[in-house]
Amino acid sequence: MPPVLELRGITKAFPGVLANDHINLTLEEGEIHALLGENGAGKTTLMNILYGLYSPDEGEIFVRGRRVEIRGPGDAIALGIGMVHQHFMLVPVLTVTENVMLGVESIKNGIFLDRSSAARRIREISRQYGLHVDPDALVKTLPVGVQQRVEIIKLLYRQADILIMDEPTAVLTPQEVDELFKVIRSLAAQGKSVIFITHKLKEVMAIADRITVLRNGRVVGTTTPSQTTEEQLASMMVGREVLLRVNKRPAMPGETVLEVENLEVQDDRGNPAVRGVSFEVRAGEVLGIAGVQGNGQTELVQALTGLRPLLAGRVRILGEEVSGAPPRRILEKGIAHVPEDRQQDGLVLSFPVADNLVLNTYYLPPFARAGTLQQEVIFTTAEQRTREFDVRTPSILTPVANLSGGNQQKVIVAREFSRPIRLLIASQPTRGLDVGSIEYIHQRIIAKRDEGCGILLVSPELDEVMSLSDRIAVMYEGRIMDILPADQATREEIGLLMAGVKR
Amino acid sequence: MATSSTWERIAARGGISPGRARTYGFIFLGAGLLIYLLFARVAAAGQASTFVMNFGTAGQQVPIPDLVLPTGPTLYALALICAFLGGWQLARGFRQVNLVLGIIAGLFVWAFLTWASQGRAFNLTGMLNSALLRAVPIALAGLSGVICERCAVINIGIEGMMLTGAFTATLMGSLALNIWGWPSWASMSFGLVSALISGALMGLLLAVLAIRFKVNQIIAGTAINILAVGITSFLSARILAHFQQLNSTGTLQPVPIPLLSRIPIIGPVIFEQNLLVYLLYILLVVTHVVLFHTRWGLRTRAVGEHPRAADTLGVNVFKVRYVNVTIGGMVAALGGAFLILGSVGRFDELMTAGKGFIGLAAMIFGKWMPFGAFGAALIFGFADALQTKLAILQVPIPSQFLLMAPYLVTIIVLAGVVGEAVPPAADGKPYEKQ
């Protein structure tokens, strides 16, 4: 019997990048096939080709032994290929039923939408695969874990039997991940074939039947969880030996640098985002804030750095009240901020590297004198900092937009770390970076801690929080569920807190 | 947790923050004070205000006795009610504060009319009729906006599309009537269909600019407005001014609907109108049903909110947008044709006078819903009608201020009352395939 799906020699080039280079891949019926690779390895490009969103430059696709052309999502759906996208493709203001039926609407009396028969089928699918969801609920009211179920139901409703899941665990709590894995196994047991895209080694080992590793657009190898280890997979992904753990000494906490008391903050729509949060960060320790994305971490960090007004509560830095102070005053108190969205909030993309390196000090001597910028000083400083922080750039005059994500992040770190600082607020400091850059940034953060700087680390990556932090605070729906010493906390305990369960 | 009480307090006041709730209270009190200062204090003693409840011309319906109110006491009563509502809002707070705000606005208008008509008779039914007629083109413009923006194309060009429709209806209708000698109904239909075609072409032009060439939609719409003003003014000066027989279409006569038109007061206002007004009613119902109960409507809304999601499910985003914007252009042109065939029967340069833009305000006020836009259009139409009636009553307010009324209402409504209106999420954003 031919494989359900076979890709032969798929090649796709974008300007300046060979995203996919002669990729071969087979998928058997009922198989869970993990596609492992770092950001930029070409996983998503390959799947978008399979789903008809891109067209390949070269190569052939076979579905159940038959050669096919996929010109758009419509063709892919007709072939039984369905995709759960990394960013959900759901319309928030529509109901579950409306989202599921969109594009394949059931009709009654000639023209009217038949919502009730669609809802009936959704309930059947829910029962069959254990995907519980209320068909009449508005999607925007559902938690992300449930929204993901809606995405899966969308595929099953279209009778897809090849399911592509692009980084499906990125937005889930550990418990929701377990739940998802159960669903995926039940799908495979009922004859569906699953391609599972991820860069997380633990998940691959837990769920996959077979693993294909991509690096720089090429297939590095195919293996199975029983034949390999996490370390082997990591070095296949990166192309060299990688340290998966951070080495650090025990913390030596000193005076309190940041004190937050009953902080309340609204999100952009005026809804409560942070609901009465209190904690403190001391010099020489890392306080990690764990939690699924969207539980108020973004608003908390923005409030602490003066980018968002406080609704209630107080913030004190080194004993001085800074509630509602403008960002510059907060920066000048010795606060460094590595923002969550580096391209939006951390850099001016069209400015050269040199200017980005002085964005928070350009108005001070020696960079400015009598209201004019001292270009000479700025350039020599930039030369020195790019060397010191190993920023790979063709020149300090290159627009920062042209740098890779890892190097952009190094520009921010170089800028924030080369001032005398007392507190570092780092929000998702390694988001979207390759394993090598992650290693580097983690070492820098720990070095800052050992110099006596207080660190507030916010990250939805539980592994990152657990390996860097000395204490771990877990945020859920705008509240801090608990603060635990890192050496006593277990994954399970933190996972439950992330889901709002307190034992 | 003690700190969550802020949110609980806000929830108890209908989702409005304490500061805002207080502001509402002062607005209500202020309305009462204004009624007292402006109207009640200056009303002459012993006067009465008469509201005529019958249509001037028609004599068929059941006659309703005129409403005669003693001016002074009525005004004092209205001022007291406003003050009481304001006090209640400050002390306890209403849950549905926007509803109360609407009631206050109604009371204020009532007080104003009572004062304006002291010692005279004011034809309320005639006023409502005029309000509806003035609301029709605004409602059609608003409906055009709803159809376009629900699939995320902003149509600033409605004004120009109306103007084009009005001109085309005039020229083609007059041509058929006065040159070719067609019967009146045939030439008006011809004018109407021509107007719809012109609107479709204008809509298609916007669609091509906005969808195919991804021009900024505000600029594309503005360009269409300028284009329409230029072409219609030029042709009007070159053709209509010299050949008066090309600028006279005649107007549609009211057609009373049996039974319904005999309902007291509102019957003749709503159901004794010309065919284009009935066409508006039908379009409102059809648009609502299509938008919320058919495949096309579901796809339109999905495209307006999250086009990529629709695309990944095989929905043709571009097709949905082209069709909707073209239809939107036709509805706008219908609004223009109404100004001619349903109203004055001749074209004047710039005769739309901002109705397309007021229609966009009605769309926003009506929260992108067909009947919401219609309701908002009625308010704007009412303000417009009020202004002309008051001029006739010789109220001691300069006529320039009265002329401002509809526009002032637009500004106040958009700035204050609507609060945060949420447009379709992708509104105004061109869609790019990956």
pLDDT digits (tens, 9 = 90+) for A87-125: 889 999 999 999 999 999 999 988 999 999 999 999 999
Q: Residue A342 falls within a domain, yes or no?
A: no
Q: Determine whether the interchain pair B312/A85 forms a contact, defined as Cβ–Cβ distance below 8 Å.
A: yes
Whether cis (ω within 30° of 0) applies to the bond prior to A366 is yes
Alpha-carbon distance of B268 to B260, in angstroms, equals: 8
Tally helices (H) and strands (E) across chain A: 16, 24
The dihedral region occupied by A103, where left means phi > 0, alpha psi between -120 and 50, and beta the remainder, is left
Contact B434 A51 (CB under 8 A): no
Joined together, the tokens standing for residue A354 give 């040199």
Name the strand (E) or helix (H) holding B283: helix B275-293
Q: Among all residues of chain A, which has the CA nearest to that of B1?
A: A276
In this structure, the strands spanning B272-273 and A479-485 are unpaired
Contact A54 B293 (CB under 8 A): no
Look at B313 and A85 and tell me if their CB atoms are within 8 Å. no
Q: Which residues of B touch A111 (CB under 8 A)?
A: 294-295
What is d(CA A185, CA A187) in angstroms, rounded to the nearest whole number? 5
- Coil, strand, or helix at residue B396? coil
- Cα–Cα dist B412/B92, whole Å: 26
Examine the domain organization and report whether A132 and A278 are in the same domain.
no
When pLDDT is averaged across residues A422-430 and rounded to a whole number, the result is 91
Could you give the 3-state DSSP secondary structure of residue B76? helix
Residue B287 to residue B300: CA distance in whole angstroms: 12
Q: How confident is the model at residue B225 (pLDDT cuts 50, 70, 90)?
A: very high
Distance from CA of A313 to the nearest CA of B (A): 9
Inter-chain residue contact A103 with B310, CB threshold 8 Å: yes
How is the beta sheet containing A471-476 ordered, strand by strand? A335-338, A423-427, A454-458, A286-290, A471-476, A479-485
Residues above pLDDT 70, as percent of chain A = 99
Nearest alpha-carbon partner for B279 in B189, B359, B347, B179: B189
Q: What angle do CA A196, A201, A203 make, to 5 degrees?
A: 50
Contact A259, A237 (CB under 8 A): no
Q: Is the pLDDT of residue B432 over 50?
A: yes
| Residues A375 and A444 occupy one common structural domain | no
pLDDT band of residue A292 (cuts 50, 70, 90) is confident
Q: Are A390 and A433 members of one domain?
A: no
Check whether B6 has a pLDDT greater than 60. Answer: no
Q: pLDDT grade, residue B1 (50/70/90)?
A: very low
Kindly give the interhelix angle for B275-293 and B295-305, rounded to the nearest 10 degrees. 70
In a domain, A347, yes or no: no
Residues A64 and A116 in one domain: yes
Of the candidate ranges A357-371, B39-53, B146-160, B283-297, the one whose mean pLDDT is the lowest: B39-53
Contact state of A276 with B293 under an 8 Å Cβ cutoff:
no
Please tell me which of the candidates A90, A102, A276 has its beta carbon nearest to residue B315.
A102
Distance from CA of A74 to the nearest CA of B (A): 4
Q: How many angstroms separate the CA of residue A271 from the nearest CA in chain B?
A: 9
Q: Clarify whether residues A312 and A364 are in a common domain.
A: no
Please list every residue in chain A whose beta carbon sits closer than 8 Å to the beta carbon of residue B295: 105, 107, 111, 113
Is A387:A410 a contact under the CB 8 Å cutoff? no
Q: Residue type at B109? A: V
Residues A284, A251 contacting (CB under 8 angstroms): yes
Burial class of residue B92 (count of CB atoms within 10 Å of its CB; 0-12, 13-18, 19+): exposed
Q: In this structure, are A76 and A205 located in the same domain? A: yes
Please check whether residue A211 is in contact with residue A204, taking contact to mean a CB–CB distance below 8 angstroms. Answer: yes
Domain spans of chain B?
2-119, 126-417
The Cα A330–Cα A227 span in angstroms is: 53
Chain A residues with beta carbon closer than 8 angstroms to that of B318: none
Nearest to B313 among A103, A107, A113 (CB): A103
Question: Are A476 and A499 spatial neighbours (Cβ–Cβ below 8 Å)?
Answer: yes
Residues B266 and B387 sit within 8 Å (Cβ to Cβ): no
pLDDT band at B84 (very low <50, low <70, confident <90, very high): very high
Chain A nearest C-alpha distance from B294 (Å): 5
Question: What pTM does this model have?
Answer: 0.80
**A contacts of B311 (beta carbons < 8 Å):** 73
| ipTM confidence | 0.84
Two tokens, residue B127:
């006023």
Domain count, chain A: 3
Tokens of residue A71, six digits: 């010109």
Please tell me whether residues A360 and A497 are part of one structural domain: no
User: Are A26 and A91 contained in the same domain?
Assistant: yes
Contact criterion met (CB < 8 Å) for B3 and A311: no
**Cross-chain residue pair B7–A272, CB shorter than 8 Å:** yes
Distance of CA B178 to the CA centre of its chain: 33
CA distance B291 to B150: 9
**Residue A234 sits in the same domain as residue A254:** no
- What is the C-alpha to C-alpha distance for residues B69 and B188, in angstroms, rounded to an integer? 45
Per residue in A125-161, pLDDT (tens digit) is 999 998 999 999 999 888 888 999 999 999 999 999 9
Query: Which residue range forms the structural domain that includes residue A366?
Result: 352-404+411-418
Provide mean pLDDT across the span A471-481.
93
d(CA A399, CA A116): 55
CATH number of B126-417: 1.10.3470
CATH number of the domain that A443 lies in?
3.40.50.300
User: pLDDT value at position B62?
Assistant: 62
Using CA atoms, how far apart are residues B75 and B39, in angstroms rounded to an integer?
Answer: 7
Strand partners, A10: A23
Smallest Cβ–Cβ distance between A276 and the set B3, B298, B312 belongs to B3
- β-strand pairing of A193-198 with A32-36: parallel
- B-chain residues within 8 Å CB-CB of A276? 1-4
- Asked whether residue A125 is assigned to any structural domain, the reply reads yes
User: Is A76 found in the same domain as A160?
Assistant: yes
* A425 within a domain of the structure (yes/no): yes
pLDDT at residue B98 tops 80:
no
CB contact under 8 A, A105 and B3: no
CB-CB neighbours of B265 under 10 Å: 16
Q: Are strands A256-266 and A272-282 parallel, antiparallel or unpaired?
A: antiparallel
The string of DSSP letters for A53-97 reads: SS--SEEEEEETTEEE---SHHHHHHTTEEEE-SS----TTSBHH
Distance (Å, whole) CA A210 – CA A187: 16
Shortest CA distance to A198 belongs to which of A343, A33, A318, A311?
A: A33
Q: Residue B355 in contact with residue B333, Cβ under 8 Å?
A: no
Cβ pair A90:B309 closer than 8 A: yes
Q: Concatenated DSSP letters for A331-393?
A: HHTTEEEE-SSIIIII--TTSBHHHHTTTTTTTSTTTEETTEE-HHHHHHHHHHHHHHTT---
Same domain, A163 and A258: no
Burial B180-206 (b: 16+ CB within 10 A, else e): eebeeeebbbbbbebbbbbbbbbbebb
Question: In this structure, are A183 and A232 located in the same domain?
Answer: yes
Give CA–CA dist A285/A255, Å, rounded. 10
Q: What is the mean pLDDT of chain A?
A: 90
